[in-house]
Chains A and B, each alone.
Chain A
């Protein structure tokens, strides 16, 4: 061995020192981060205390004689005070409605914040695009809806998701065709989740029903499925004929099941006969479960016979269970039929036991939901 090597003890000391140093650095990083977080929170709170009255004043004199002076005051705020004001307003907007909400949004517009943020919609940075989309969604400003629709095709997933949500929060029915249409896009890597899209369309409310019906009539399978679901959730009674048509003729079993579910939610007794037809075996199990569940929701006692037949003869356990639960929902006639069938049907026994104990049926919701 060469004698040129350093003293092992010295080396050991150096290694120990390095380890201790690493540990100290880790603790110091933690301490610094905590201190910064606390300082930033305290600073935000201090600024917020001074800014809140300003927001209140600005709303009071929005249209008054002092509005020009207020504009100057708002524009003269320091950067951090301005950011605090924007944050406070953005947090307040979703909690308010009507005039107060409009005044707050107007306040941001007068400060030039909305236009400044909107410029970030085309930023190269996904983080900035995301922040801008979230901001515009939060302040309920529809003036940049076209840009938000374009961002449904953004290369960044978070931006696409935020754009869906923003369009929903803004609630523009005109955005519905773009939202539902994107579901049919054959690009798996840029697919929009149906869950987020349907939430956005739901937020657009009944005003979007015509656009949704158009998708049910002419869309691809994915958008037809979403449209059928949304129409049920919106409770659009006027959509019942279209949904009956989809239940009977759509080529996709998923769409037919969603149509059945939607008809159940609408609760139109005239549709019960169509649903009873769908209890028969040639229809896929998914459709049969949805039809049985829907019949329970509609509560038409005339369907008890069809449901009882399904309970006794269907090969699929989920369908039999859905039929038994639907019969329990029909009340008197359904429960009587369940009693008669309970010696031969374990599902009838289970549902009767649960119903008579006053216990809601836990799986009912599960059977009602079309798999996403």
Chain B
């Protein structure tokens, strides 16, 4: 066989591989969609069976320390803290860590909430890099505690400092730019109460709220964001949380409880040594470490993502900011998979080693490699007449068409179960964004993730960056 024939066979073979890969990836997504579609009404039914009012009224409902790392969050920190202070939960403290902000984050907090310094005893339960310089509490007696510390270029370091300050049995880690639903903590603590011996971590569904009106710390008027970049992320988040993570919960394979909103037992996190200072994906690293340890111990455990929209966040509106964020996420995922490579394809780790980690390796981490190679190989093969147009169209349908179908299904699931968007026009805009996502955005996304993967492989140092915030629109 001469080299031309070999090259032709390789290109054609690769095209078949791309087709198979797209079908496998979207097939798995379809399974997750089916599982999530069945699960959501059941979960909502179960929640109805034990009312949140009972959780609220029960004198034994455990206290929660809400941990909020904040680095240059002046644009939205006041709304975020106000929303957290209005949470409907019987007993909580709110620990905000001003991680060496260079803007007026602390000044705003001090003026708005009347903070006074206090000699708080801080237990060194988990190691930290940046030293705590001072601790403030509200003179009025509120539950807000503000910790000022030296910045160590890592979100995880701020969270570890907050874990040391926290004094409740449960900790809830959230981002400083988030606005929570009033019942968010009740929703997420409830799985711990319903299954006290097995549940070790609970996450909530994160939803973008760019352009939404916020009144008294609550999202009131949910409108579709004006920016197409943000609008596409609304669809992405629906697909990832409502379909992906709720589906994985049912299959007991949750790998990521988002750092934007997750509840854990403090003692468990302390036992694991806190959040990883090394990993950029410290949230996934924490969950993966939980899987790793508990599987090794043969423990019966569950990690849960509740489907209720509990946490509203501001997503990047520019491609530049989004690109940086996604690149960092990809690097973080690579680091997590690298640090748990011992469990990969290892039957000793059960579903975690044989299903979850291989899925994230093959279909999350390596997917940009296949996507970008496919973007080059398919048109090339088509131009050289190595594959026929129908075959190229089948590949397109398997990757783009199937993906679009999943996005639309996620939008419909949201509409059936939660219908948070008031206007039909917004639904139409989301559907349009789901289609437009495939033209340019998806390819760019693959490029960002590929660069993140390359960063991880090269061992390049990436610091905890901040996203440009515009803050929420406060409505009277």
Contacts and interface: CB of A to CB of B under 8 A. Distances in A.
Contacts of B405: 22
Contacts of B434: 23, 26
A321 B121 contact: yes
A317 B116 CA distance: 24
B393 A8 contact: yes
B45 A165 contact: no
B401 interface: yes
B76 to A, nearest CB: 24
Contacts of B404: 19, 22
B167 A359 contact: no
A194 interface: yes
B196 A195 contact: yes
B197 interface: yes
Contact of B401 (A15, A127, A158, A194): A15
Interface in B102-142: 116, 118-121, 123, 137-141
Given A195-B196, A317-B121, A349-B119, A29 B415 contact: yes
A23 B408 contact: yes
A296 to B, nearest CB: 16
A369 B389 contact: no
Contacts of A33: 415-416, 419
Give chain B's interface residue range (CB within 8 Å of chain A): 35 or more
Give chain A's interface secondary structure class. helix
B49 A370 contact: no
Interface in B62-117: 62-63, 65, 91, 93, 116
B51 interface: yes
A199 interface: yes
Given A195-B55, A346-B121, A354-B137, A12 B393 contact: yes
A362 B49 contact: no
Interface centre among A37, A162, A164 (most CB of B within 10 A): A162
Contacts of B61: 195, 372
A321 B141 CA distance: 18
Contact of A26 (B50, B123, B300, B411): B411
A371 to B, nearest CB: 5
Interface string B29-73: 000000000000010011011110011011111110100000000
Contacts of A229: 60
B46 A157 contact: yes
Contacts of B168: 363, 366
Interface string A157-177: 111011011000000000000
Given A15-B401, A23-B408, A130-B49, A371 B169 contact: yes
Nearest to B116: A357
A27 B116 contact: no
A29 B393 contact: no
A250 interface: no
B123 A317 contact: yes
Contact of B119 (A31, A164, A321, A346): A346
Contact of A366 (B167, B390, B393, B397): B167
B53 to A, nearest CB: 10
A365 interface: yes
Contact of A134 (B49, B55, B121, B389): B49
A27 B428 contact: yes
Contact of A198 (B46, B58, B397, B401): B58
A2 B50 contact: no
Contacts of A366: 63, 65, 91, 93, 167-169
Contacts of B93: 362-363, 366
B409 to A, nearest CB: 8
A19 B63 contact: no
Contacts of A158: 42, 45-46, 48-49
A23 B431 contact: yes
Contacts of B228: none
A1 interface: yes
Contacts of B42: 158
Contacts, number: 175
Interface in A342-372: 346-347, 349-350, 353-354, 357-360, 362-363, 365-367, 369-372
A33 B58 CA distance: 37
Interface string A93-136: 00000000000000000000000000000000001001001100
A191 B62 contact: no
A130 B45 CA distance: 8
Contacts of A8: 389-390, 393
Contacts of B120: 350
A349 B49 CA distance: 46
Interface in B226-246: none
Contacts of A193: 50, 193-196
Given A158-B42, A350-B121, A359 B138 contact: yes
B62 A372 contact: yes
Interface in A285-325: 317, 321
A316 to B, nearest CB: 10
B428 A2 contact: no
A162 B50 CA distance: 6
A196 interface: yes
B91 A1 contact: no
B193 A195 contact: yes
A15 B400 CA distance: 10
Contacts of A365: 63, 91
Given A159-B49, A362-B93, A350 B435 contact: no
B339 interface: no
A369 B91 CA distance: 10
Nearest to B423: A34
Contacts of A19: 401, 404, 435
Given A191-B197, A365-B63, A29 B412 contact: yes
A6 interface: yes
Contacts of B411: 26, 30
Nearest to B386: A1
A196 B121 contact: no
Contacts of A282: none
Interface centre among B46, B60, B65 (most CB of A within 10 A): B60
Contact of B54 (A134, A165, A321, A350): A165
| In the A-B complex, the 5 residue pairs with the closest CB atoms | A363-B167, A162-B49, A8-B389, A195-B193, A158-B46
8 contacts: A1-B388, A6-B390, A22-B405, A158-B49, A350-B119, A362-B167, A369-B63, A371-B62
Interface of B: 42, 45-46, 48-51, 54-55, 57-63, 65, 91, 93, 116, 118-121, 123, 137-141, 143, 145, 167-169, 192-198, 300, 385, 388-390, 393, 396-397, 401, 404-405, 408, 411-412, 415-416, 419, 424, 427-428, 431-432, 434-435
Given A31-B424, A233-B60, 9 more contacts: A8-B389, A8-B393, A30-B424, A158-B45, A165-B50, A195-B61, A202-B59, A369-B91, A371-B62
